[in-house]
């Protein structure tokens, strides 16, 4: 560990690290490197908190280890193409470009592959709260992460039965799940009394009180602890003799570095040639609607399984979202998807006030097997990679940061990172 002692007369210069990407994964990597004693610069073109995770359901989804691909997924593609109002849609013009990715995605739908993926992800998600604890302890607001569990709601009991195999897989990996009745749902959520009779309670899930504020608070903690944040995009990694020497910013600034971490979500693609990797990383659009004054008291983060979206009460309002879309690269967002969310939400909560609403979209950085990349570049050996977390960016931010800290410091990692290799797609 590199230790820095303020006030020492002949302090050894600290090694430097640059983290590219200021979203939840990037800021957690920067915080853990700072804790290791490195002089850390975090670069991102956006203001703190304005990232993909801002437009998410804000859940610590610790048992969400089953990949998106499931048996029979191929049969659903025609429906995604035809029904642009469904919970998961595929724009027809995006299909040619996404076909190679989709072929790998479907290949992950075999039962044996699903078990392998779930087991690998579970090794990471079991440590989520322990890894966030030291980071949140340094933040001024001690209520950034709520204490209430998450609830999943179903229209019919048959939906729970259909997913029984995967629920049992989650439980075999050590995650709790409790079936709840109409009365229990009403007791937990009076606003839904009489509207749902079938649900699941995830007692080991939590949700943040504000997705934007959560990331901004961690960023503030990073800066107040001595980290430097530069609001600019990274243009490239400077290199010499098989090592990175620093990062060039789009504003012309050059930042020298002994270590570089690429944690820029789908923006990480910009660096793949330099890193010597061919990773099938795609952005899947997730739409959200934020209602500052919803006129409804929702107490938990609620997943409405049959509608394909969720409600999360936040300090800035009620966030409703989760509907996803394969739109293709560089596609303009289709905020009619967010309007669809509101339409469905009003059916469940007719009293919901929607005259004041803000729409947003986050492009989840997905890999076909739903697992992130947490690895070291073989071409530039002092560059670490941390991207592709899909819907688990918020959940795995701190755990990824801790692992990156270990790798930069040259320590063996607690988890086996072979399943998260950048080279698994070769």
Whether residues 216 and 288 share a domain: the answer is no
Q: How many whole angstroms separate alpha carbon 96 and alpha carbon 82?
A: 16
Last residue of a domain, one of 314, 331, 366: 366
Whether residues 61 and 131 share a domain: the answer is yes
Please give the share of the chain, as a percent, with pLDDT higher than 70. Answer: 94
Whether residues 100 and 236 share a domain: the answer is no
Q: Read off the pTM.
A: 0.94
Residue among 4, 23, 50 nearest 226 (CA): 4
pLDDT digits (tens, 9 = 90+) for 255-284: 999 999 999 999 999 999 999 999 999 999
Whether residues 307 and 167 share a domain: the answer is yes
Whether residues 292 and 401 share a domain: the answer is no
Structural domain containing residue 319: 74-109+146-208+282-366
Whether residues 139 and 154 share a domain: the answer is no
Q: For position 77, what pLDDT does the model report?
A: 67
Q: At 314, is the secondary structure helix, strand, or coil?
A: strand
Whether residues 194 and 331 share a domain: the answer is yes
Q: For position 81, what pLDDT does the model report?
A: 62
Q: Does some domain include residue 8?
A: no
* Mean residue pLDDT across the chain: 92
B/e letters for 328-346, b = 16+ CB within 10 Å, e = fewer, are beebebbeebbbbbbebbe
The enclosing domain of 337 has a CATH number of 3.30.9.10
pLDDT digits (tens, 9 = 90+) for 182-209: 999 999 999 999 999 999 999 999 999 9
Q: How many whole angstroms separate alpha carbon 31 and alpha carbon 227?
A: 8
Last residue of a domain, one of 366, 391, 410: 366
Which two structure tokens, joined as six digits, stand for 281? Answer: 């990383």
Tally of domains within the chain: 2
| Mean per-residue pLDDT, 23-29 | 98
Q: For position 264, what pLDDT does the model report?
A: 98
Radius of gyration of the chain (CA): 21
Q: For position 61, what pLDDT does the model report?
A: 97
Half-sphere exposure of 185 toward its Cβ, with a 13 Å CA cutoff? 22
Q: Does some domain include residue 78?
A: yes
The enclosing domain of 404 has a CATH number of 3.50.50.60
Q: Does some domain include residue 2?
A: no
- Decide which of 344 and 265 is more confident: 265
Q: Does some domain include residue 296?
A: yes
Whether residues 277 and 353 share a domain: the answer is no
Q: For position 91, what pLDDT does the model report?
A: 84
pLDDT digits (tens, 9 = 90+) for 137-146: 999 898 999 9
| Mean per-residue pLDDT, 385-394 | 96
Tell me which DSSP letter residue 145 carries. B
Give the count of beta carbons closer than 10 Å to the beta carbon of residue 317: 18
Q: Does some domain include residue 5?
A: no
Whether residues 141 and 161 share a domain: the answer is no
Whether residues 158 and 94 share a domain: the answer is yes
Whether residues 166 and 56 share a domain: the answer is no
| Mean per-residue pLDDT, 90-104 | 87
pLDDT digits (tens, 9 = 90+) for 300-329: 999 998 877 899 999 999 999 877 788 888
Q: For position 12, what pLDDT does the model report?
A: 57
Q: Does some domain include residue 7?
A: no
Q: For position 72, what pLDDT does the model report?
A: 66
Report strand pairing: 39-43 vs 228-230: parallel
Q: For position 2, what pLDDT does the model report?
A: 44
Q: Does some domain include residue 316?
A: yes
Strand pairing partners for 321?
288, 310
Q: Taking CA 140 as the corner, what is the angle to CA 48 and CA 409, rounded to the nearest 5 degrees? A: 70
Q: For position 8, what pLDDT does the model report?
A: 38
Q: Does some domain include residue 6?
A: no
Last residue of a domain, one of 366, 390, 411: 366
Does position 70 have pLDDT exceeding 80, yes or no? no
Whether residues 224 and 265 share a domain: the answer is yes
Q: For position 272, what pLDDT does the model report?
A: 98
SS (H, E, C) 181-243: CHHHHHHHCHHHCCCCCEEEEECCCEEECCHHHHHHHHHHHHHHCCCEEECCCEEEEEEECCE
């Amino acid at each position: 560990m590199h230790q820095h002692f303020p006030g020492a007369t002949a302090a050894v210069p600290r090694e430097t690290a640059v983290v590219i990407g200021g979203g939840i994964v990037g800021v957690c990597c920067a915080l853990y490197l700072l804790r290791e004693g490195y002089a850390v610069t975090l670069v991102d073109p956006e203001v703190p908190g304005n990232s993909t995770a801002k437009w998410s359901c804000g859940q610590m989804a610790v048992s969400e280890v089953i990949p998106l691909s499931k048996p029979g997924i191929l049969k659903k593609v025609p429906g995604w193409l035809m029904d642009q109002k469904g919970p998961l849609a595929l724009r027809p013009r995006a299909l040619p470009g996404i076909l190679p990715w989709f072929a790998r995605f479907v290949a992950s739908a075999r039962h044996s592959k699903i078990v392998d993926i779930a087991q690998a992800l579970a090794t990471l998600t079991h440590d989520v709260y322990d890894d966030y604890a030291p980071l949140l302890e340094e933040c001024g607001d001690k209520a950034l992460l709520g204490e209430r569990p998450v609830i999943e709601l179903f229209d019919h009991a048959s939906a729970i039965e259909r997913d029984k195999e995967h629920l049992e897989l989650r439980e075999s990996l050590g995650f709790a799940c409790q079936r709840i009745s109409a009365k229990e749902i009403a007791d937990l959520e009076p606003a839904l009394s009489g509207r749902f009779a079938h649900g699941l309670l995830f007692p080991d899930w939590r949700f943040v009180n504000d997705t934007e504020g959560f990331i901004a608070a961690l960023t503030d903690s990073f800066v107040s602890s001595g980290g430097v944040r530069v609001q600019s995009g990274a243009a490239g990694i400077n290199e010499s003799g098989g090592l990175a020497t620093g990062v060039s910013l789009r504003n012309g600034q050059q930042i020298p570095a002994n270590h570089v971490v690429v944690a820029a979500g789908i923006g990480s693609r910009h660096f793949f040639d330099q890193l010597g990797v061919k990773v099938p990383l795609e952005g899947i659009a997730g739409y959200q609607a934020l209602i500052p004054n919803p006129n409804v008291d929702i107490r938990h983060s609620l997943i409405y399984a049959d509608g394909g979206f969720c409600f999360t009460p936040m300090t800035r309002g009620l966030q409703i979202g989760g509907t996803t879309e394969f739109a293709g690269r560089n596609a303009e967002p289709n905020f009619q998807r967010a309007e669809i969310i509101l339409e469905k939400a009003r059916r469940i909560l007719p009293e919901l006030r929607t005259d004041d609403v803000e729409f947003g979209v986050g492009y989840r950085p997905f890999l076909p097997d739903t697992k992130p990349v947490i690895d070291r570049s073989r071409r530039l050996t002092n560059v670490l990679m941390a991207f592709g977390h899909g819907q688990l960016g918020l959940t795995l931010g701190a755990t990824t940061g801790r692992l990156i800290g270990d790798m930069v410091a040259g320590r063996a990692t607690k988890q086996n990172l072979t399943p998260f290799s950048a080279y698994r797609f070769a």
